[in-house]
């Protein structure tokens, strides 16, 4: 059995964390033979709720959990961690403007970036879940200068999972028979869910999704809008933002970082742009990536038509605007 690793979850008394912690404790993310010490961070007035979460972790009686640290102190929470799930943020509520969310959360991720820089291992892998996730991840990395920027990513896996499940349902195949769906750009309503390079296994044949579905107009219009607005649809239905599906996606994202992607397959995550596909540099932009040895590489050489390029520009422009606004908030 390996030595335990320290894993921090922020916003640990919240709904996403409530679903996520079980995945971590059970071994679904880091592996069935990897013990963990859970570091759970939340704000002081949530400590009572967090105490109840700790009781439940104890009552799970899972052998991989070798310790739990429940705290409101970032120094204790981030001390020596090797993986960080940055879930804690003000959630988006119905009718809330994205800029309001940005203003509230940028300051949180600036402070937590500074704490990561001081206390976490320099090899820590940081996944930002709290929205606006892409720009929060950018700010978090900026204020943790001693940690490589490549170690920071933001979650668009929920969007990928939504798109993959939608296509599978439309084609009448199991969800794991659909591969290489891409989410480009921001985890927002400007994102571009792209199945131009995706495949579907139907019976014994593997077909491009566009050939299998045979409705280009739907895949370029209604499908894109459905995935772009799925988060808002969930909020409208349950009066709260996605929690169970977000937790599953966070686990999927970190599992792929830790264990790598399969040959010939890629996943979507927001990483620091190097200018690939004409995207402006130094924004956290969702690309298709392949991962080996805990290092990601952007998949290169995918052909983009004018329609796709126009969609990438819309979401890139939003991210540049968010970046400028976030830096202005931090500087003030």
51 backbone φψ class: left, alpha, beta (φ>0; ψ -120 to 50): alpha
159 marked as binding residue: no
Clarify whether 187 is annotated catalytic.
Answer: yes
> Residues of 30-40 as b/e, b for ≥16 C-beta within 10 angstroms?
beeebbbbbbb
Write down the catalytic residue from 39, 166, 177, 187: 187
**In this structure, what token pair is assigned to residue 107?**
């300051």
Give dist(CA 179, CA 55) in Å, integer.
Answer: 39
**In this structure, what token pair is assigned to residue 281?**
């540099």
130 marked as binding residue: yes
68 and 54 Cβ atoms separated by less than 8 Å: yes
131 marked as binding residue: yes
Parallel/antiparallel/unpaired status of strands 178-179 and 199-202: antiparallel
8 marked as binding residue: no
157 marked as binding residue: no
* Phi–psi pair at 16, nearest 5 degrees: -65, -45
151 marked as binding residue: no
**Which residue ranges are tagged as binding site for NAD(+)?**
42, 105, 129-131
**Which residue ranges are tagged as binding site?**
42, 92, 98, 105, 129-131, 162
**Which residue ranges are tagged as binding site for substrate?**
92, 98, 131, 162
Q: Cite the active site residues.
A: 187
């Amino acid at each position: 059995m390996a030595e335990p690793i320290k894993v921090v979850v922020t916003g640990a008394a919240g709904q996403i964390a409530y679903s996520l912690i079980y995945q971590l404790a059970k071994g679904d993310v880091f592996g069935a033979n990897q013990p963990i010490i859970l570091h759970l961070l939340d704000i002081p007035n949530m400590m009572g709720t967090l105490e109840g979460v700790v009781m439940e972790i104890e009552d799970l009686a899972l052998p991989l959990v070798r310790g739990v640290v429940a705290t409101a102190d970032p120094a204790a929470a981030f001390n020596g961690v090797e993986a960080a799930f940055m879930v804690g943020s003000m959630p988006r509520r119905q009718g809330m403007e994205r800029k309001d969310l940005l203003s509230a959360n940028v300051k949180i991720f600036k402070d937590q970036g500074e704490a990561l820089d001081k206390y976490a291992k320099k090899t820590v892998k940081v996944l930002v879940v709290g929205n606006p996730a892409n720009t929060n991840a950018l700010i978090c990395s900026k204020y943790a200068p001693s940690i490589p920027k490549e170690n920071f990513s933001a979650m668009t896996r929920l969007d990928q999972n939504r798109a993959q499940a939608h296509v599978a349902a439309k084609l009448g195949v199991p969800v794991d028979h659909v591969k290489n769906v891409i989410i480009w750009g921001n985890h927002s309503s400007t994102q571009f869910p792209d199945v131009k390079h995706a495949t579907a296994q139907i019976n014994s044949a593997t077909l491009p999704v566009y050939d299998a579905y045979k409705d280009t107009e739907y895949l370029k219009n209604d499908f894109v809008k459905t995935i772009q607005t799925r988060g808002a649809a969930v909020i409208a239905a349950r009066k709260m933002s996605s929690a169970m599906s977000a937790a599953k996606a966070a686990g999927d994202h970190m599992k792929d970082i830790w264990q790598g992607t399969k040959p010939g397959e890629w996943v979507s995550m927001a990483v620091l742009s190097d200018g690939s596909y004409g995207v402006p540099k130094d924004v956290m932009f969702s690309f298709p990536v392949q991962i080996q040895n805990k290092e990601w590489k952007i998949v290169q050489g995918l052909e983009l038509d004018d329609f796709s390029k126009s969609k990438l520009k819309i979401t890139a422009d939003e991210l540049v605007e968010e970046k400028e606004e976030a830096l202005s908030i931090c500087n003030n």
